Structure 1
C-alpha cells in the first residue's frame, strides 16, 4: 500500500508539471506563503527601476508634462524624419543625431527623466551619445558634396568596392 501511494504521489506530481513540483515558496508581505517562478533563480531576484527613472514632473501634472524629456527627444526625431521625407536628407539626419545627443545631455544633467531612462545613467549616456555622434558624422559625410571628409574611410570604401 505504501509503494502504491508513493507511486501515485509521483505520478500526480508529474501531471502537475515541473513548475508545480519545483516552485519555490517565499513569504509575502502579509506573512502568507507565495509561489514564485524558478525561471532564473540564481541571477534575477527583482527588476529595479533605472536611476532617474522617476517622473520628470510632479505627480499632479498631466501625463505629457511628466514625460517631457522623452517627448522632446521624440519630437526632434520626428522633425528630423519629416525633413528627411521632404528631401532634406542631410539636415533631417543631423537633427536626429542632435536629438540623441540632447537625450544624452538630459540624461546626464537631470535627476529625473522619466521614460528616457532605460538602463543605468552611464549606459544611457554612452548609448545616446555614441549613436547621436555616429548619425551626425554620417550625415555630414553623405555624398554628393560631403561636408566632412575622413580620408581613411574613403580608402576603406574603395578597398571594399574594388
Structure 2
C-alpha cells in the first residue's frame, strides 16, 4: 500500500509546478465557479471563464495575491488564491491608437493595405488565378495575406497606381 501511495505521489508531484507571480504582472481572474451570479454579463454556458487582465498589487501570504480590480467588481474582495489566477500572455504595448482606426457607418473595422510585397500565379483545375501578397495595417497576427488581384484592384486602386 505504501509503495502505491509513493508512486501516486511521485506522479502527482511530477505534474504539479508552483505558480508564482510578482507585483505588476497581469493575470486573468477565473470566474467560472460563480455561475449563479449574473455579475459577468452572461449566465450559463456562455458565461466567461476568465475576465480581463488585472494587475497584481502585492503578494499576501504564501499563495494569495491582492489585485487591482475594476470598478464593476467593487463588491468582490480583492485578494485571491493562486488557483484562481492565470498568467496573461497578451501584450498591452500592441494597442492600436483609436485615431488611426477607420470604421464604416455600421461601426465595422475597415482594413487598409499598407503595401504589396509579392505577386504569383496559381493554376487551379480549370482556371489561372493571379494573387498578390498584401501587407495590412493594424492587423493582429500575421499581417500579410495572399489575395485575389482583381478584388484588391477593385477595392484599392490607388495602391496599385503608386506601385
The TM-score with structure 2 as length reference comes to 0.26
Q: Larger Cα Rg: Structure 1 or Structure 2?
A: 1
The TM-score with structure 1 as length reference comes to 0.26
- More contact order relative to length (CA 8 Å, sep ≥ 6): 1
Identify the structure with the greater helix proportion: 1
